[in-house]
Structure 1
Amino acid sequence: MKLSTRGRYGITLMVDLAINSGDQPVSLKSIAERQNLSEHYLEQLIAPLRNAGLVKSIRGAYGGYVLAKPAQEITAGDIVRVLEGPITVVEDEPTGLRRLWDEVRDAINAVLDRTTLVDLAEMMRQGTDDGLMYYI
């Protein structure tokens, strides 16, 4: 399984919100600058995340986005499924190997579903993010 930029950047966006929002909304522009990502691309990602109830938008001069739930209640699996759809490893496979690929899919889902934004933020703080693009 390979995540597209939608899933990877979506996780990066959400971790940035978890780290930086607190009581104040965070603008997509500031996230884009910190993460060296396209603000336009982040705008495309934020809409499905908002529709799924993972983020809330705050209007106004000092508006932006905040997490809709506590960071410990949002998992990487929540984000990936919103932006990528269901996790699949192999579409069509002979019956004899189907069980193997189902187990691989289930293992991936288990890791994504037990990894919260709090866990990801801590990985980033410790420098074990291996590819997340946040600069502390």
Structure 2
Amino acid sequence: MKISTKGRYGLTIMMELAGKYGEGPVSLKSIAEKNELSEHYLEQLVAPLRNAGLVKSIRGAYGGYILSRPPEEINSGEIIRVLEGPISPVDFTEEDDPAKRDLWMRIRDSIAEVLDSTTLAHLINYQDDGQHDSYMFYI
């Protein structure tokens, strides 16, 4: 499964709102400028997030968007599903080989577990500890 710009930019919107949670509404214009994104595109993405009840819009001169729940209560899986649809690495059917079907289901479930256990609070409070597994190639 490849997450498109819809999912990535939608997560950006939500992280920006989470970072300002409790401080009042945030305009899409400010999010677009800070992240060098198209305000028009962000407007298209925020509509399904609002319809899903993840954000609320505030009208007026100092309006914008706020999270509908605290950042600790919104996980990245909710956001990705709203913008990308169901999480699945491949479309598999009953006719598929059972071993392959089991593999695809385990991959799907692993992706869902990571997304569903990662809240907006985790994302905005992320600290890089430098303890990443990485590969060094020598030629």
Instruction: Give the structure-1-normalised TM-score.
Output: 0.88
Equivalent position SS for 2:24: coil
Partner residue in 2 for 1:121: 124
Within 5 Å, which residues of 2 pair with 1:1-136? 1-92=1-92, 93-123=96-126, 126=127
Q: Separation in 2 of the partners of 1:43 and 1:13? A: 10
The alpha-carbon deviation at position 90 of structure 1 amounts to 1.0
Q: What percentage of residue pairs aligned between the two structures are identical?
A: 62
Q: Separation in 2 of the partners of 1:4 and 1:114? A: 20
Q: Separation in 2 of the partners of 1:71 and 1:12? A: 13
The alpha-carbon deviation at position 52 of structure 1 amounts to 0.2
Q: Separation in 1 of the partners of 2:103 and 2:86? A: 18
Instruction: Give the structure-2-normalised TM-score.
Output: 0.86
Gaps of 5+ in 2: 130-139
Runs of 4+ in structure 1 over 4 Å off: none
Contact 2:25-2:62 at 8 Å conserved across structures: yes
The alpha-carbon deviation at position 122 of structure 1 amounts to 1.1
Contact 2:13-2:31 at 8 Å conserved across structures: yes
When you count helix as a share of all residues, which structure comes out higher?
A: 1
* RMSD over aligned Cα atoms: 1.3
